[in-house]
């Protein structure tokens, strides 16, 4: 029984809940049946102001077209552009500048244009006012070229571009005029506040902003002045530029055409005394006007909305002129191939040149060697003959003398033999002396010389031989390098001679110890002291094989005259310096050349 | 023989006075009969080319070079022996000299004893050459009849036999035989045969 009662009461409860919930679900169904229609509105003076200005119009539309629910979305320039491209709005209401920009890029259908307030009631209500403080003494736009200015944004039509165009028209370079411009963005009221607070000298604002703000009690009219004022019939706001078409409402791709037709009819029929019209600061709507004048502004400022980045234009051009694109591509490929071909040819000819250079150097080396051999040969053979004659005579006399002694000839017979030998010895001596003076006699020119440079030049001269024989040459320096007066040719001869000797010594060592993995090393070490410069040439060759190598005609080389080191010694003595050569304990030898540091040229010996 | 050789003349041709004089000085101590000349032309002008002897030539001389002097001597069929003594000789030069008939080729300075030995050799060679030349001259002076008789004599035939073969009188053969011995300076037919066979280039 009780169970049954419970069942009944449960049923009643369910019914009651169902009955209660019925009107609620009915209202939600009604709301779901009126779809939202999103209207984006450019919020030039902030969201609040935008709502105040446009919500009445939206409400009026909602009233007139109850099937849908119009929703107002305040947007700034960028979000507006985004909204159109992303198709998040059904309708947009924006200023003429953006109308043109967007209209050229997206499929917007213009529905209606705002009409100015009575009494002018034209569709032209957009322009810039160049406002300065009334207290300043600027009279014309020219007076404020380059001064700090405030503007809305680079893309703001009323708040920047129209004035820029006006400056172009007046023959002022807009870049100079706007050399120090600050873009303050939305809300645009900030521009005039900045001007009031003396942060800038002028402000570029959309027309009527100043008047509206004065009316709203935000600013004191007496404190501001508009430069370059234009006569505009019954237009009540001061403006510095011509006027351009007013704000327009457009349908995006998302919006329905049917709805657009209805909206259009309702807006066009809006009476000027309607609250919505008054709130929007207009006297109603007309059919959309021609935007040609705005186009012209963009064209003049090189900002045509269709003007795309250069690469996009190039791509478009390429798509259109494919044959040219291919030709260009083939040309590009050809140029590349040609470039590589040239590079290849260049590297080849470079190789050939290098080989030729190498051969030339080799030939030079051979020539120098054969010349040296020829000189040695010629000098040697004539020297041999010259010295052989007295030697022969001496031998003959001495043998004859010995025979006389053996035969026990008298003393008087033997004396003349020695006289004759004596005179032959003198003859030989004279020959040697003549040769020596011949070799050392050379005109000497002394001049200031950088020893380091001279050594580098010398090594460069011997570079080929060093490289060929695989000799590693190193330079060392202690002290501060100074210049001194030397016989450059003579000193270079000495260096060449000594380094050549060092190479020879290394090569001889290598010949004698072929299996040691020997690396020939030569070190040229300069040591600068207070009044002397010493140059050491150290090698790791065979070392000295003769007790007194600087003596003339002493040589261990089969084709050597034995004059090299003797000449070196003479040259260094002539410099007032020294030439020493000695074996090292370990291996090789060191040749030391020391020079006095002279600062004046003195060609006397 | 040595003593015979030493009586023969030795000539030194060299443009260098000290070399020339010293050589003469030394060679005189070896008891050679030395004469010196300054150059080849003077030497050739002053000399009787038919006489034996030995000449020491320098290669490099003004006017005539040593080799040219040697060539002229050979052309004149001189019996002189040639020795080269030079300050700058080389192997091809020495080979040429020896092929041209030089006795020796020396480089300066030369050891005196070596040079003396070579000169002696040269003098002996020269004397021999002189003999050959004399025999050849004697042979060339023979008449046809004398040459016939010489051939038969050397073949070992007796006078009677020779007279028979040549159809001449025995007495004529004897006269010719005496002339032959005289022309070749031989005392007997055996010596005649020796001289002829040893020296003459046309010997059988």
Alpha helices by DSSP H, A143-188: 162-169, 174-177
Q: In this complex, is the C-beta atom of A424 within 8 Å of any C-beta atom belonging to chain B? A: yes
- pLDDT at residue A337 in the model: 95
**DSSP readout, A112-125?**
EEEEPPTTT--SEE
List chain B residues with CB under 8 Å of A385.
60, 87-88
List chain A residues with CB under 8 Å of B111.
395, 399
Residue A528: φ, ψ to 5°: -95, 125
Could you report the per-residue pLDDT of A166-200, keeping only the tens digit for each? Answer: 888 888 888 888 888 888 887 888 888 888 888 88
H or E element in which residue A433 lies? helix A411-440
- pLDDT at residue A23 in the model: 45
pLDDT > 90: percent of chain A: 7
pLDDT band at residue A332 using 50, 70 and 90 as cut-offs: very high
Residue in chain A nearest B58 by alpha carbon: A389
- Residue A446 forms beta bridges with which residues? A487
Looking at the predicted structure, is the pLDDT value of residue A4 above 80? Answer: no
- pLDDT at residue A213 in the model: 87
pLDDT band at residue A571 using 50, 70 and 90 as cut-offs: confident
- pLDDT at residue B57 in the model: 92
Whether the upstream peptide bond of residue A443 has omega within 30° of 0, thus cis, is no
Could you report the per-residue pLDDT of A518-564, keeping only the tens digit for each? Answer: 888 899 999 998 888 999 999 988 888 777 676 666 677 766 666 67
Spell out which chain B residues touch chain A, with contact meaning CB-CB distance below 8 angstroms.
16, 18-19, 21-23, 25-26, 28-30, 60, 87-88, 108-113
- pLDDT at residue A339 in the model: 95
Q: In this complex, is the C-beta atom of A384 within 8 Å of any C-beta atom belonging to chain B? A: yes
- pLDDT at residue A11 in the model: 61
**Exposed e or buried b per residue across A433-447, where buried means at least 16 C-beta atoms within 10 angstroms of its C-beta:** eebbeeeeeeeeebe
ipTM score = 0.71
The C-alpha of A419 sits at a distance from chain B's nearest C-alpha, in angstroms, of: 12
Looking at the predicted structure, is the pLDDT value of residue A234 above 70? Answer: no
Looking at per-residue confidence, does A54 or A300 come out higher?
A54
3-state secondary structure of B39: coil
- pLDDT at residue A552 in the model: 61
Lowest mean pLDDT among A56-70, A251-265, A371-385, A583-597: A371-385
Q: Which of B22, B60, B111 sits opposite A393 (nearest CB)?
A: B22
C-alpha radius of gyration, chain B, whole number: 22
Question: A390–B18: do the CB atoms touch at under 8 Å?
Answer: yes
- pLDDT at residue A347 in the model: 94
Looking at the predicted structure, is the pLDDT value of residue A221 above 80? Answer: yes
Question: B26–A399: do the CB atoms touch at under 8 Å?
Answer: yes
Looking at per-residue confidence, does B111 or A384 come out higher?
B111
- pLDDT at residue A28 in the model: 41
pLDDT by position in tens, chain B (length 204): 455 556 889 999 998 888 899 999 999 888 899 999 998 899 999 988 888 899 999 888 888 888 999 999 999 888 899 999 987 778 889 999 999 999 999 988 888 889 999 999 999 888 888 888 888 888 888 888 888 888 888 888 888 898 998 889 989 999 998 998 888 888 888 888 888 877 665 544
List chain A residues with CB under 8 Å of B60.
385
Half-sphere exposure of A40 (CA within 13 A, CB side): 28
> Scanning the structure block, which residue is given the tokens 């006569």?
A231
Q: Which of A392, A400, A407 sits opposite B109 (nearest CB)?
A: A392
List chain B residues with CB under 8 Å of A428.
none
pLDDT > 70: percent of chain A: 84
In which region does residue A511 sit, left (phi positive, over 0), alpha (psi from -120 to 50) or beta (all else)?
A: alpha
Could you report the per-residue pLDDT of A430-450, keeping only the tens digit for each? Answer: 888 877 776 655 566 778 888
List chain A residues with CB under 8 Å of B19.
389, 392-393, 396
- pLDDT at residue A31 in the model: 46
Q: Identify the residue among B28, B29, B90, B111 best suited for mutation to test binding to A, counting A beta carbons within 10 A and taking the highest.
A: B29
State which of A29-43, A93-107, A202-216, A310-324 shows the largest mean pLDDT: A202-216
Residue in chain A nearest B85 by alpha carbon: A392
Give me the total of CB pairs closer than 8 Å, taking one residue from chain A and one from chain B: 72
Looking at the predicted structure, is the pLDDT value of residue A382 above 90? Answer: no
Cα distances (angstroms) measured from residue B83 to each of A477, B97, B107: 65, 9, 11
H or E element in which residue B197 lies? helix B189-199
> Scanning the structure block, which residue is given the tokens 């059919």?
A287
Question: A400–B18: do the CB atoms touch at under 8 Å?
Answer: no
List chain B residues with CB under 8 Å of A397.
22, 25-26
Beta strands in chain B (DSSP E): 9-13, 33-37, 53-57, 81-86, 104-107
List chain B residues with CB under 8 Å of A391.
108-109
Question: A384–B112: do the CB atoms touch at under 8 Å?
Answer: no
State which of A228-232, A274-278, A525-529 shows the largest mean pLDDT: A525-529
Q: In this complex, is the C-beta atom of A390 within 8 Å of any C-beta atom belonging to chain B? A: yes
Question: A424–B16: do the CB atoms touch at under 8 Å?
Answer: no
List chain A residues with CB under 8 Å of B30.
403
Question: B88–A400: do the CB atoms touch at under 8 Å?
Answer: no
Would you say the C-alpha torsion A481, A485, A486, A489 has a positive or negative sign?
Answer: positive
Could you report the per-residue pLDDT of A301-331, keeping only the tens digit for each? Answer: 766 555 567 787 788 888 888 888 889 889 9
Question: A391–B26: do the CB atoms touch at under 8 Å?
Answer: no
Enumerate residues 6+ apart whose C-beta is below 8 A from B36.
B11, B12, B13, B14, B20, B21, B23, B24
Question: A424–B111: do the CB atoms touch at under 8 Å?
Answer: no
Could you report the per-residue pLDDT of A358-372, keeping only the tens digit for each? Answer: 888 888 777 776 766
* A432, A434, A439, A443 alpha-carbon torsion, rounded to 10°: 160
Q: Which of A381, A389, A399 sits opposite B16 (nearest CB)?
A: A389
Q: Identify the residue among A380, A394, A403, A423 best suited for mutation to test binding to B, counting B beta carbons within 10 A and taking the highest.
A: A403
């Amino acid at each position: 029984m009780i169970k049954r009662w419970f069942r009944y009461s449960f049923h009643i409860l369910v019914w009651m809940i169902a009955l209660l919930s019925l009107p609620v679900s009915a209202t939600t169904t009604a709301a779901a049946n009126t779809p939202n229609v999103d209207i984006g509105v450019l919020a030039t003076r902030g969201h609040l102001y935008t709502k105040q200005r446009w919500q009445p119009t939206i409400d009026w539309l909602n009233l007139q077209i109850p099937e849908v629910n119009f929703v107002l979305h305040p947007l700034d320039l960028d979000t507006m552009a985004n909204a159109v491209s992303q198709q998040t709005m059904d309708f947009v209401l924006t200023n003429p500048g953006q109308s043109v920009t967007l209209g050229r890029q997206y499929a917007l259908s213009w529905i209606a244009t705002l009409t100015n307030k009575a009494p002018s009631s034209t569709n032209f209500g957009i322009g810039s006012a160049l406002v300065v403080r009334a207290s300043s003494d600027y009279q014309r736009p020219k007076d404020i070229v380059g001064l700090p200015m405030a503007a809305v944004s680079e893309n703001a039509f009323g708040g920047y571009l129209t004035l820029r165009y006006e400056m172009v028209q007046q023959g002022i370079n807009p870049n100079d005029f706007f050399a120090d411009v600050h873009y303050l963005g939305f809300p645009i009221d900030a521009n005039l506040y900045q001007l009031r607070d003396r942060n800038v000298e002028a402000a570029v604002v959309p027309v009527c902003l100043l008047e509206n703000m004065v009316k709203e009690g935000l600013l004191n009219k007496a404190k501001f002045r508009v430069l370059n004022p234009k006569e505009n019939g019954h237009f009540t706001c001061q403006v510095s530029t011509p006027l351009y078409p007013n704000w327009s409402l457009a349908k995006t791709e998302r919006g329905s055409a049917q709805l657009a037709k209805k909206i259009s009819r309702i807006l066009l029929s809006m009476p000027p005394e309607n609250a919505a019209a008054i709130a929007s600061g207009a006297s109603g709507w007309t059919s959309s006007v021609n935007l040609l004048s705005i186009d012209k502004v963009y064209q003049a400022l090189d900002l045509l909305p269709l003007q795309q980045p250069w690469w996009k234009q190039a791509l478009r051009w390429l798509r259109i002129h494919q044959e040219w694109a291919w030709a260009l591509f083939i040309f590009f490929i050809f140029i590349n191939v040609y470039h590589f071909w040239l590079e290849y040819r260049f590297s080849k000819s470079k190789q050939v040149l290098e080989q030729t250079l190498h051969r030339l150097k080799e030939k030079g080396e051979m020539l120098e060697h054969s010349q040296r051999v020829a000189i040695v040969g010629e000098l040697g053979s004539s020297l041999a003959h010259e010295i052989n004659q007295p030697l022969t005579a001496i031998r003959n006399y001495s043998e004859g003398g010995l025979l006389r002694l053996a035969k026990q000839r008298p003393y008087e017979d033997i004396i003349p033999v020695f006289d004759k030998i004596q005179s032959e010895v003198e003859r030989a001596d004279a020959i040697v002396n003549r040769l020596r003076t011949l070799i050392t006699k050379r005109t000497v020119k002394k001049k200031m010389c950088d020893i380091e440079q001279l050594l580098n030049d010398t090594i460069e001269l011997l570079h080929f031989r060093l490289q060929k024989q695989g000799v590693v040459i190193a330079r060392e320096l202690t002290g501060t390098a100074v210049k001194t007066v030397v016989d450059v040719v003579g000193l270079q001869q000495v260096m060449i001679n000594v380094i050549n000797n060092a190479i020879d010594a290394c090569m001889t060592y290598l010949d004698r110890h072929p299996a040691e993995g020997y690396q020939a090393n030569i070190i040229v070490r300069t040591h600068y002291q207070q009044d002397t410069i010493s140059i050491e040439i150290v090698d790791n060759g065979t070392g000295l094989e003769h007790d007194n190598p600087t003596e003339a005609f002493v040589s261990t080389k089969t084709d050597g005259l034995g004059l090299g080191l003797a000449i070196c010694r003479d040259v260094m003595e002539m410099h007032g310096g020294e030439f020493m050569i000695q074996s090292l304990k370990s291996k090789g030898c060191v040749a030391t050349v020391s020079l006095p540091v002279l600062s004046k040229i003195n060609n006397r010996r | 023989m040595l003593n015979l050789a030493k009586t023969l003349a030795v000539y030194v041709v060299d443009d260098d006075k000290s070399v020339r004089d010293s050589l003469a000085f030394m060679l005189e101590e070896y008891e050679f009969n030395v004469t010196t000349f300054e150059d080849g032309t003077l030497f050739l002008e002053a000399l009787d080319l038919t006489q034996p002897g030995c000449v020491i030539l320098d290669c490099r001389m003004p006017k005539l070079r040593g080799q040219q002097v040697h060539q002229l001597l050979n052309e004149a069929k001189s019996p002189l022996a040639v020795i080269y003594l030079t300050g700058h000789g080389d192997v091809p030069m020495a080979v040429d000299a020896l092929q041209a008939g030089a006795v020796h080729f020396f480089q300066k300075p030369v050891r005196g004893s070596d040079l003396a030995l070579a000169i002696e050799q040269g003098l002996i060679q020269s004397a021999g050459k002189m003999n050959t030349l004399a025999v050849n001259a004697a042979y060339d002076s023979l008449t046809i009849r004398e040459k016939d008789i010489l051939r038969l004599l050397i073949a070992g035939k007796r006078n009677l036999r020779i007279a028979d073969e040549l159809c001449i009188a025995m007495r004529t053969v004897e006269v010719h035989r005496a002339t032959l011995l005289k022309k070749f300076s031989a005392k007997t037919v055996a010596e005649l045969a020796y001289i002829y066979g040893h020296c003459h280039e046309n010997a059988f």
